[in-house]
Structure 1
Amino acid sequence: MGQLNDEIDRTAAEWAAKVAGGSLSLSESERFEAWRAADIRHAGAFARAQAILVRLERLRAVGADALRTTIEEYPAAATDPEDCAEPQPVSGASSAAMHPRLLMRRRLMVSGAAACLAVAGLAGVFLLPVSSQQEFSTGLGEARQVRLSDGSLVTLNTNSKIVVAYTDSVRKIRLIQGEAIFKVAKNKQRPFIVSAHDTDVRAVGTSFTVQLLPEKPVRIVVQEGVVEVVRRDAPAIVPVRAKAQTQAIVSGSAPIVVQSIARPVVARQLAWQYGRIALENETLADAAEEFSRYSDTRIVVDPAVAGRTITGLFAADDPVGFAKVAASVLDLRVEEGPKEVRIVR
């Protein structure tokens, strides 16, 4: 039995390392969920392995070099000579190019939880209770991809924040602000719910975007599959189902509106993934507001020309470049100042 438990711990450690490294493919995500559901001990072993990773991330004061020295001084404590072997680098990166702390983390994980914790002499530290919540955020003009523990992938847009709270029965994410794309790993027994204010978006396995901006309605764009949109605080408002190539608009006390949108429109709305802003006959005023989400350099538009429209694909972090192109196309002028660019007649 002990040998079997060791094997479970080792497999759990390998899965935790893959999930943390963001290297799970769709087929691997499905195999991971099947492994975890096959035996009640698997879920517990995986949770322990994740706890180890969290503690390692927080161990900045000790430092990777100190941990490496500790392990190398006590090689006999490992149950197998290869237990603490260096894993193969992911995404084609060389071991020399990886951050020492990341190398240390992956070494400990692949070795198996019990063996390497005993080697490091830190089991009591790593197995302390950890929070079931995680926060992820981006700054102004920043985008970030996060691979969650179930294999789901979240892409955060500029100035965005989410709080992840997973349990054995449900996967909950709260969008605090901004915008995020959710590519959900399928698991019908474990619903995936994104909350934005009082709106819940429920999915099983799909891809969708939720946007929560100041003084604007909540907007959900579905790229694949189907989602259910529910107003928690307004039971009189009928929940709706939104399928691929549709968007749901949730505003005030009004009914939830579902609209069909063409694939090219969806692509334009998601251009921010690639650091771009796609405009299609947008007014200069609306374009300036959109650019303000990505940069602290303001675009100020002369009210006399604010209604003029522009079409094109622009770098999200270059408001000055956009202003110059727009002025050239619309026969206007640009005046540059500190942290400001003006488009005038």
Structure 2
Amino acid sequence: MSREVARAAAQWLALLESGAATERDHAALQHWRDSHPQHEHTWQKAQSLRRRFSDLPQALAMASLDRPQPGRRAVLKRALGVAALLPAAWLISRQLPVDTWRADLHTATGERKRLPLADGASLQLNTATAADVDVAQRRIRLVDGELALNVPGMAPMTLQTRYGELLVSQAEVCVRQLAAGCRVSVLKGAVQVRDLNGKSTTLQAGRQAPLKASGLGSSAPFDVLQLGWRDGVLSAQNQTLGDFLRELERYRPGVLRWEPGLETLRVTGSFRLDDTDRILSLLASTLGLEVQARTRYWVSLRKKLA
């Protein structure tokens, strides 16, 4: 189960439990469930957990959504300490698979890290990312999320994903692992990509390609603005507001919602990721929007009434 799908299921369940769901929300949930078999499978698991923990606070039940299902005593022991202190939406936004918890390196939602490696190489982790690092074998495994790897020297490093692996030498690459594949972007040099079938392809600087279970897809030029997160910046150039907000969601804990009518508004600018509340305020002031915050972890955008 991918983290993104688990998080989405948790948010849908939280919305239904809040009692604030509209007919449009119910229709959108059904569309989400029907759009991919994994969505429906995860939703059924969420419903099963909801019934199993019906006598527990919702935050405790949701804390186990993306974990193996041991006994109730074990779930309580893990979840009680934080659930009593933090809002349920905060917990929901950070549901991670067990292998993510066990990773050597990880970042929370909204956190980014830069780490030096051997021989002048460096590794950057984006928001909600986990990775294992084997220094002796010069191997990195992307467990979940997005990372950038820069290897300036000749000695190669291997970057392993769920859908294949990359051999990086005198090159810089960014990889984002998604529910159905990876997005591989080569910033400089050339990277050898080997898919799950053993087929190798070289991806050149300035090119981007999807890496899936079926292999590496066709490459295309990519917009370097996509990788502004490495400098703590989220940039947009005449981007639809809907797409911009979906990207911004990755850096905010909790739930961010907006009226469907806002989807096609256009955004241009560069925004510092260190303060996503300020990003929402800037969007509201420039686009004539109203920010409604039930809590820090449940925020909605709507068109400002005249």
TM-score relative to the length of structure 1:
0.53
Specify the alignment match of 2:189 in structure 1.
Answer: 225
Distance 1:216 1:134, change over 3 A: closer
Specify the alignment match of 1:291 in structure 2.
Answer: 248
Residue 203 of structure 1 aligns to which amino acid in structure 2?
Answer: V
Specify the alignment match of 2:301 in structure 1.
Answer: 343
Report the number of matched residues: 201
* Structure 1 residue 335: Cα displacement: 1.9
Specify the alignment match of 1:145 in structure 2.
Answer: 114
Residue 160 of structure 1 aligns to which amino acid in structure 2?
Answer: T
Root-mean-square deviation (CA), in Å?
A: 2.3
Q: Distance in 2 between matches of 1:195 and 1:222?
A: 15
**2:271 is the counterpart of 1:314:** yes
Q: Distance in 2 between matches of 1:134 and 1:218?
A: 19
Residue 244 of structure 1 aligns to which amino acid in structure 2?
Answer: A
Q: Distance in 2 between matches of 1:203 and 1:162?
A: 16
Q: Distance in 2 between matches of 1:281 and 1:183?
A: 30
**Which deviates the most, 172-181 or 309-318?**
309-318
Task: Give runs of aligned pairs for residues 183-262 of structure 1, distance below 5 A.
Answer: 183-188=150-155, 191-213=156-178, 215-232=179-196, 234-235=197-198, 238-253=199-214, 255-261=216-222
Q: Distance in 2 between matches of 1:318 and 1:298?
A: 16
Q: Distance in 1 between matches of 2:259 and 2:298?
A: 13
Q: Distance in 2 between matches of 1:299 and 1:287?
A: 12
* Structure 1 residue 216: Cα displacement: 4.9
Q: Distance in 1 between matches of 2:103 and 2:212?
A: 28
Specify the alignment match of 1:182 in structure 2.
Answer: 149
Specify the alignment match of 1:56 in structure 2.
Answer: none
* Structure 1 residue 228: Cα displacement: 1.0
Tell which structure's C-alpha radius of gyration is larger: 1
**Which deviates the most, 323-332 or 199-208?**
323-332
* Structure 1 residue 134: Cα displacement: 8.2
Residue 224 of structure 1 aligns to which amino acid in structure 2?
Answer: K
Q: Deviations over 1:237-262 (max 9, x none)?
A: x532111111121134265221123x
Residue 220 of structure 1 aligns to which amino acid in structure 2?
Answer: V
- Structure 2: where are the runs of 5+ without partners? 1-101
Residue 192 of structure 1 aligns to which amino acid in structure 2?
Answer: M
Q: Distance in 2 between matches of 1:254 and 1:198?
A: 8
- The structure with the greater share of residues assigned to strand is 2
Q: Distance in 1 between matches of 2:220 and 2:246?
A: 24
Q: Distance in 1 between matches of 2:288 and 2:181?
A: 34
Distance 1:216 1:302, change over 3 A: farther
Specify the SS of the correspondent of 1:179: strand
Percentage of identical aligned residues: 26
Specify the SS of the correspondent of 1:336: strand
TM-score relative to the length of structure 2:
0.60
